[in-house]
Amino acid sequence: MNLTPSPFATPFPKLPEVKGVRAATGSRGFYAKRGVTRDDVFLFAFDEGTTCAGVYTISRTASADVLWCRQALQTGGGVARALVANSGNSNAFTGPKGQEKNEATLKAMTETLGVAKEHCYLAATGVIGEPLADPNYVGAFVPDLAAKLGPPDWEAATRAFMTTDTFAKGAGMSMDIDGHDVNFAGIVKGSGMIAPNMATMLAYIFTDAAIAHDVLQELLEDITNETFNAITVDGDTSTSDTLMVFATGQSGMDPITSKDDPRLDAVAMALHSVCLELAQLVVKDGEGAQKFVTIQIDGAVSPMSAKIIACEIANSPLIKTAMAAGDANWGRIVMAVGKSLEPIDATKLAIWFDDVQVAVNGARKPDYSEKAASAVFAQPEFTIRVDVGAGEHSATVWTCDLTHGYVDINGAYRT
């Protein structure tokens, strides 16, 4: 299947080197049967002393890889030494064979790299439910990759785990902390089956900051709520969603071991910024996306209520098709707000498209201009803001439109 690049596609950014991280990518042949030659596996290796944090899909049918990562994060004490991910097969709903593939891969990682099993992380993305004929298919490839380990080629790694993505997505930054050069590099893949509750598919952020596992874990969970869990393409939740941060500590800074450490603010800012950029890039590469839309809800009774209303708007097929057509059909916004069943004051409801107010006090604005509203919807990026008149709380969610491209891509994905 040939995918038309997203109109928001950008060249892969220059990401900083992260001390203590080595990587290698290679082609195992997952795509060969489709006549495509491309890299489809990567291996990352981390220096001793690397901590990590992770959040994963809440799906009841989570992939074998996700189940392993969750277990390793608990039993391994938040230490990470290696990561292997493949595209082309998700290893979800593969029964005992899925676990066999993991065991074989983990065995290869521990033997090749001389690290503990519970410090090794796994991921797989692609078609659900097709077990690998050879459980060691990935494991047998690990020594080849280990022999090539070196400073990461971030773009190559990103391309190795892409599926229906139309461009390689990364974000990063560097900052000074106590005279130490601290670097962050993040990569993400994901385009469809994207909804709040881990919308990432797979995202990894690498840093040479030094930070204890428990502090990093709490920080990541907070940040996820406002970034990766605030995006939606189609409201569908993957069985494989994974977001992990690896902190090698090789920048030389003294470790952050408490959430009261004043240096945590800088690290939090950097992580938030990288997560938000990666999350928004996923929406911008949403399957068939032609529009990038910010949904802002004000006047809700709680942040959670605001987010629920925002997601009803962001996931409504009627609103998403109207976005695609550039049709400023604000009545459907009213429908979605009502459908949320959240507390609102319908007599105070107000709606804006960018700076154009279209509704006030529960009715169309008297001087409503269809032309002005349509001009906003004609743009590639715009904001829908709704004040639901019931309280003081807000939330922001990012989404894309529902186009013929989405229908095409998802009818043809397996062919």
User: What secondary structure does DSSP assign to 58-92, as a single string?
Assistant: --TT--HHHHHHHHHHHHTTTB--EEEEEES----
Instruction: Confirm or deny that 86 is annotated as ligand binding.
Output: no
245-304 binders of a copy of itself (CB under 8 A): none
Instruction: Confirm or deny that 163 is annotated as ligand binding.
Output: yes
Instruction: Confirm or deny that 189 is annotated as ligand binding.
Output: yes
Site string for a copy of itself, 183-202 (x = CB under 8 A): ---------xx-x-x-----
Instruction: Confirm or deny that 370 is annotated as ligand binding.
Output: no
- 171: its two tokens: 């974000």
What is d(CA 377, CA 211) in angstroms, rounded to the nearest whole number? Answer: 44
Give the nearest distance from C-beta 195 to a copy of itself in angstroms. 8
Give the nearest distance from C-beta 341 to a copy of itself in angstroms. 6
Instruction: Confirm or deny that 287 is annotated as ligand binding.
Output: yes
Q: How many CB atoms within 10 Å of residue 321?
A: 17
Nearest to 235 by CA among 286, 165, 168, 295: 286
**Stretch of 68-76, 87-95, 136-144, 159-167 contacting a copy of itself, by CB under 8 A:** 87-95
Rounding to the nearest 10 degrees, give the CA dihedral for residues 229, 77, 60, 336: -10
Is 200 one of the catalytic residues?
yes
The answer to whether residue 412 forms part of the interface with a copy of itself (CB under 8 A) is yes
Q: Is 241 exposed, middle or buried (0-12, 13-18, 19+ CB in 10 A)?
A: buried
Give the nearest distance from C-beta 13 to a copy of itself in angstroms. 30
Residue 319: how many CA atoms within 13 Å on its side-chain side? Answer: 24
Exposure b/e, 3-16, CB count within 10 A at least 16 = b: beebebeeeebebb
317-376 binders of a copy of itself (CB under 8 A): 317-318, 321-322, 324-325, 327, 329-332, 334-344, 346-347, 349, 359, 361-364
25-44 binders of a copy of itself (CB under 8 A): none
The answer to whether residue 176 forms part of the interface with a copy of itself (CB under 8 A) is no
The answer to whether residue 95 forms part of the interface with a copy of itself (CB under 8 A) is yes
The answer to whether residue 101 forms part of the interface with a copy of itself (CB under 8 A) is no
**Which of 164, 200, 242, 248 is the catalytic position?**
200
End-to-end CA distance of the chain: 7
Q: Which residues are annotated as a binding site for substrate?
A: 163, 189, 200, 287, 410, 415
Cite the active site residues.
200
